[in-house]
Structure 1
Amino acid sequence: MNQHRSVRTALVPALLTVTALVALSACGTSGADSGSGATSTVTVRIPDPGNSGVLAVGKKDGSLDKALGKAGARVEWTGSAGPFAPAAQAMNADQLDFATGSITSGITSLAQRPGFKFFTAVDPDAAGEGILVRDGSGIGSVADLVGKKVAVNQGGTGEYLLLKALDKAGIPADKVQRVYLRPDQTAAVFNAGQVDAWAVWAAYAVAEIGSGKAHFVADGAAIGSDNYSLNAVRTGFAEKHPGVVKALYDYLHTSSAREKKNPAAYLNVFTDVGPTAVTGRAEEVQTGFTAEGGTVDPIGPEDITRFEAVAAFYAEQKVTKAEVDITAHLLDIEKLT
């Protein structure tokens, strides 16, 4: 957690209690959660974490299954981690139980018919997200983006960062052309000079900055970003298996604190070669971002205030048709047993 912020306190009770969750279908049963005396193991469907991060380590050394086993659960790695929007759709369709995303992409997903709740918060990444430009581009400030093309992911972190940066600089949004691209398709377009800048976060910025050919013209701190990283759980799963959700939170919280202290131990978990490996200067960039970043914590009242500010901003900027009610989709992890 950011050392300059107060320790998070529990959500005010009026926001949400576990009993207020909508009951949807869930996979498996567990005596640890249901009190029925059943001994079957609950399966938690989680996107494959790839080659880096807390979940990658948990997959490799079995520590996540061990932690969840105490709550009568085990992991089923399903698909692969990626943008939150498709993961939200998978949770809505009862094909996934857990996913990670940003508050920005979360708000646009909540504007649909969400079947998930957010149960943790990681402070906005002040260093690892921002407006990326190529070295020598001639773009030295946000003001220099006027008349330029900027790649963003629609309704997600990229669009938020660009709009927030322009708003802070007093520049009308229509003075900059937004080019909507999927993040995994943008690097080639950016490096070919087909867009002038890229509003992006660490997962994609590290490789570009590590190449020594790009830099942030404004990072999250300069932009004043409220773009939290959140963990979401399928509503029906949380209602039926609160103890498993609590065990998952405990694992993520403890492991993220360890990752912050020793970022290198959470890189290149399965391989240090190939396209998924982070090496050279990029490794230095990533470890630096992680060391400066936050940890997985409960959602507190001060976080909710900032969530609501993002929702209001998205409505004001016409990203959403109306202001999304965030509080209706939050889970108080400290009330789970």
Structure 2
Amino acid sequence: MPHLPRPPHSPPRRQAIGRLGAIAAALALPFSALPARAAVDGKQLRIGYQKSSTLTALLKSQGTLEKRLAPLGVKVSWFEFTSGLPLLEALNIGSVDFSADVADTVPVFAQAAGARLTYVAQEAPSPTAQAIVVKEDSPIRTVAELKGKKVGVAKAAGSHYLLLAALEKAGLSAKDIEPAYLTPADGRAAFERGAIDAWVIWDPFLAGVQRQSKVRLLTEGKPVADYKRYYLASSDYAQTRPDVLQILFDELRHTGRWVKAHPKEAAALLAPVWGLDAETVEQANARRSYEVRPVRPDDLGEQQRIADAFFAEKLLPKKVTASDVALWKPRG
């Protein structure tokens, strides 16, 4: 694979932007309060992704999907988001058609808000790809010692569930800490200047702070949180262009296998895309499974545990049945 330059940032449409911040700030805001869904245009594929969307970043940097879909008359466009919740909101209202991998918590919030989303694929668990970190000289040695402390976390992210599950295992609840809801960039800044006592974060941000700062892990995801990442489509798009989803699925699975088989080459390609050094990228990639597979009903057990945990903390507006979702089935 050739060495490629950093791709340009592509913002989502302006109408969606104003609404994305609202739902990130108030999770109980129903998706029905947002603009009406845009009609599906089968001649385009609008992909939303995050910085941590490794496989999608590689496909984007190589132009792989553009080459595969051009014969079908499908044009590909890309939109970057800071986290999964606004990405799935954009998917629900029709600003994008397909969501690159989001943490397992995010579809639960979308489901609670009545979003019409279809699970396309999942990555096998990567429990060590997220963790709770403190500074190396911090007096905090255990999760139980977070009681009364200020903890930075991205609201509704997979790391948020890790925090809830770790607190429960330590005999605490979210009420026993002071949560600071921060994006990864803001969380890193707050952590570095000592504005928070601990930070709950995922790769590649986790690998970045481990390599660039003196930190200790209080706990990783294992054994309290599996940390699966999901790929989703709007239900309208899934019904309209299953052939496009099949190509996406095949390319994601192929790319995942390539990353694990060629860790150094993959890290060299991703380093300029992510703005990180190759060693940090390789460390992050080593903790992700990148095993792309179909989503089956019996895979959703932890989704139910996640839904129950957030509902118990009054962070979900209603109870969610995790299995009550649309599942796309790939060929082969």
- TM-score normalised by structure 1 residue count: 0.79
Q: Does 1:312 align with 2:308?
A: yes
Q: 1:248 to 1:184 in 2, by over 3 A?
A: same
Question: Which residue in 2 is equivalent to 1:134?
Answer: 135
Question: Which residue in 2 is equivalent to 1:173?
Answer: 174
Gaps of 5+ in 2: 1-36
Question: Which residue in 2 is equivalent to 1:150?
Answer: 151
Name whichever of 134-143 and 311-320 sits farther off. 311-320
2:320 is paired with a residue of what secondary structure?
coil
1:206-264 per-residue CA deviation (whole Å, 9 max, x = no partner) reads: 21011141232100114x10332001111111111111111111111111111122233
Q: 1:180 to 1:62 in 2, by over 3 A?
A: closer
Q: Does 1:277 align with 2:275?
A: yes
Q: Contact (CA 8 Å) 1:45, 1:76: kept in 2 or not?
A: yes
Name whichever of 253-262 and 277-286 sits farther off. 277-286
Alpha-carbon shift at residue 323 of structure 1 (Å): 2.0
Max Rg structure: 1
Aligned equivalents of 1:69 and 1:185: distance in 2? 39
Q: Contact (CA 8 Å) 2:271, 2:277: kept in 1 or not?
A: no
Q: Which amino acid aligns with 2:277?
A: T
Q: Which amino acid aligns with 1:193?
A: G
1:113-145 per-residue CA deviation (whole Å, 9 max, x = no partner) reads: 313222111123211101111111122211121
Aligned equivalents of 2:83 and 2:258: distance in 1? 25
State percent identity of aligned pairs.
Answer: 25
Alpha-carbon shift at residue 149 of structure 1 (Å): 0.9
Q: Which amino acid aligns with 2:311?
A: A
Q: Contact (CA 8 Å) 2:263, 2:285: kept in 1 or not?
A: yes
Matches within 5 A, 1:94-243: 94-99=94-99, 100-222=101-223, 224-243=224-243
2:133 is paired with a residue of what secondary structure?
strand
Q: Contact (CA 8 Å) 1:24, 1:235: kept in 2 or not?
A: no
Q: 1:215 to 1:73 in 2, by over 3 A?
A: farther
Which structure carries more relative contact order (alpha carbon 8 Å, separation 6+)?
Answer: 1
Aligned equivalents of 1:160 and 1:119: distance in 2? 22
Aligned equivalents of 2:93 and 2:192: distance in 1? 37
Q: 1:247 to 1:72 in 2, by over 3 A?
A: farther
Q: Which amino acid aligns with 1:27?
A: D
Aligned equivalents of 1:267 and 1:110: distance in 2? 34
Aligned equivalents of 1:240 and 1:321: distance in 2? 31
Q: Contact (CA 8 Å) 1:51, 1:271: kept in 2 or not?
A: no
Q: Contact (CA 8 Å) 1:152, 1:158: kept in 2 or not?
A: yes
Aligned equivalents of 1:271 and 1:259: distance in 2? 13
**Which of the numbers 7, 19, 26 marks the counterpart of 2:40?**
26
Alpha-carbon shift at residue 63 of structure 1 (Å): 2.1
Gaps of 5+ in 1: 1-22, 29-41
Question: Which residue in 1 is equivalent to 2:33?
Answer: none
2:113 is paired with a residue of what secondary structure?
coil
- TM-score normalised by structure 2 residue count: 0.80
Q: Contact (CA 8 Å) 2:132, 2:198: kept in 1 or not?
A: yes
Matches within 5 A, 1:5-16: none
Aligned equivalents of 2:92 and 2:244: distance in 1? 19
Computed over aligned residues only, the root mean square deviation of the Cα atoms, in angstroms, reads 2.6
Alpha-carbon shift at residue 57 of structure 1 (Å): 2.6
Q: Contact (CA 8 Å) 1:150, 1:195: kept in 2 or not?
A: yes
